[in-house]
Structure 1
Amino acid sequence: MLDSYRIVAIASSAGGIAALGNLLKGLPEDFPVPVLVVQHLDPRHKTVIADVLGRKSRMPVQLAEAGFQAQPSTVYVAPPNFHLLIDGDGVMSLSSSELVHFVRPSADLLFESVAGAFGARAIACVLTGSGSDGGMGVSAIKARGGTVIVQEPDSAEFKGMPHAALATGAVDFVLPLGQIAEVLCGLLEVREL
């Protein structure tokens, strides 16, 4: 019997900063699990994504750091040019291993590590983005009994990543961006804003 979800992992690429801000502003400050985010960023520039998303989110937003345990009610964003992984104890690690689908960080690697660590207690969300990153990862989440949410492609600025996730057949919810926070709150049985 599943007692509760333990983690939410979100992936986005092109158009993702605005989409992430929209989703995060709908989650309460006492959201009961950590939120891990892979957003494809240009590694040549210092990133301000944590500050930008922090202005929208009621939860604190920070760049993920290796060796730190992910805490509930906190958003962790993969730093540019590093894959973000997590183990069963909730300890995050960063990897500069090879690019996956031409990107680092990779949604696939994050989702696969989340699936391995948390199984049926994991929720994965795929938002707007070009390319196919996240497709293999949502299959891993589903294979371990987790829950997969995909932004409805017509509401996505870029449809590649949502379409790739949908093509796997491993999706539980296909939702307009504005409804994803509400469904996450429902799955986690927390009050909505």
Structure 2
Amino acid sequence: MDSEVGTPKQSVNEHTSLPTNDAMPQSAMPIVGIGASAGGIEALGSFFDAMPPDSGCAFVVVLHLDPKHESEMAHILSARTAMPVAQVREGMPVERDHVYVIAPDTELRVQEGKLRVSRPSTSRGPRHPVDVLFASIASSKRERAIAIVLSGTGNNGSQGLREIRAEGGMSLVQAPETAKFDGMPRSAIAADMADHVLAPEMMPEVVLRYVRHGYVAAPA
């Protein structure tokens, strides 16, 4: 586990370039799953402010939402990135350099390059939609799976990180001292499931280094 909160940010141009997006086969596209709840909107904004729009990754965001109200999350994130941002609909294909946001009162999975939406598996008690997403990305993308846990309460995401790492992917966790609510980050750290512990604005640099490494960037 690395703690890099104080590490000076480097220019993304210092790293070896990825193949062009057109040249990269779809099977080689990394998917970044991001889970958050309370305090997550601010953390997501900081992350996407720092993430270049042409990383070659797809981003899938699960945020705990009020199940009885329409979400404005896609609109909010559109102001923080030049990438297209959409609320997920059943069967949407996952495309590189796009951001997908979960709809209220749903669970979200990535399967065979598409986004699958279902009703929550439990109607009562704690729900763990972040774990559901992470597990599906781990199974679909293996070493090209990247999971990020941001601000939130409870332990949602910790089990999903275990599956991401078991398949050879990478996990990043928000540094608790930078989170408005540190329950989810602290749970992941206590479970020893964090490859990197960082402030959200420092995470894109680590993601870019990872996806440009030969282990991930080689053709599938």
TM over 0.5: yes
Where does structure 1 differ by over 4 angstroms across 4 or more consecutive aligned residues? Answer: none
2:147 aligned with 1:140: no
TM-score (norm 2): 0.80
Q: What's the offset of the Cα at 1:31?
A: 2.1
Letter in 2 for 1:34: A
Report if the CA contact (8 A) 2:49-2:201 is conserved: no
Report if the CA contact (8 A) 2:93-2:115 is conserved: yes
Report if the CA contact (8 A) 1:101-1:133 is conserved: no
Report if the CA contact (8 A) 1:25-1:58 is conserved: no
Letter in 2 for 1:54: S
Deviation string, structure 1 residues 5-26 (Cα, Å, up to 9, x no partner): 6211000100001110110111
Letter in 2 for 1:109: V
Q: Based on CA coordinates, which of the two structures has the bigger radius of gyration?
A: 2
Distance 1:101 1:74 in 2: 32
Q: What RMSD over aligned residues (CA atoms) do the two structures have, in Å?
A: 1.9
Q: What's the offset of the Cα at 1:101?
A: 6.3
Q: 1:41 aligns with which of 62, 65, 68?
A: 65
Q: 2:178 aligns with which of 140, 151, 155?
A: 155
Deviation string, structure 1 residues 133-191 (Cα, Å, up to 9, x no partner): 0011000101111100001111111000001111221221011222112212222339x
Distance 1:49 1:7 in 2: 19
Report if the CA contact (8 A) 2:145-2:169 is conserved: yes
Q: 2:146 aligns with which of 117, 120, 123?
A: 123
2:58 aligned with 1:28: no
Distance 1:166 1:58 in 2: 31
Q: What does residue 111 of structure 1 align with?
A: 134
Distance 2:203 2:134 in 1: 18
Deviation string, structure 1 residues 40-91 (Cα, Å, up to 9, x no partner): 111111111100111011211111111111100000011111111011x311
Distance 1:15 1:169 in 2: 22
2:206 aligned with 1:183: yes
Report if the CA contact (8 A) 1:132-1:165 is conserved: yes
Report if the CA contact (8 A) 1:16-1:127 is conserved: yes
Q: What does residue 16 of structure 1 align with?
A: 40
Q: What does residue 171 of structure 1 align with?
A: 194
Q: 2:105 aligns with which of 54, 78, 81?
A: 81
Distance 1:138 1:127 in 2: 12
Identity %: 36
Aligned length: 186
Q: Which has the higher contact order (CA 8 A, sep 6+)?
A: 2
Distance 2:177 2:107 in 1: 28
Report if the CA contact (8 A) 2:29-2:58 is conserved: no
Distance 2:57 2:125 in 1: 28
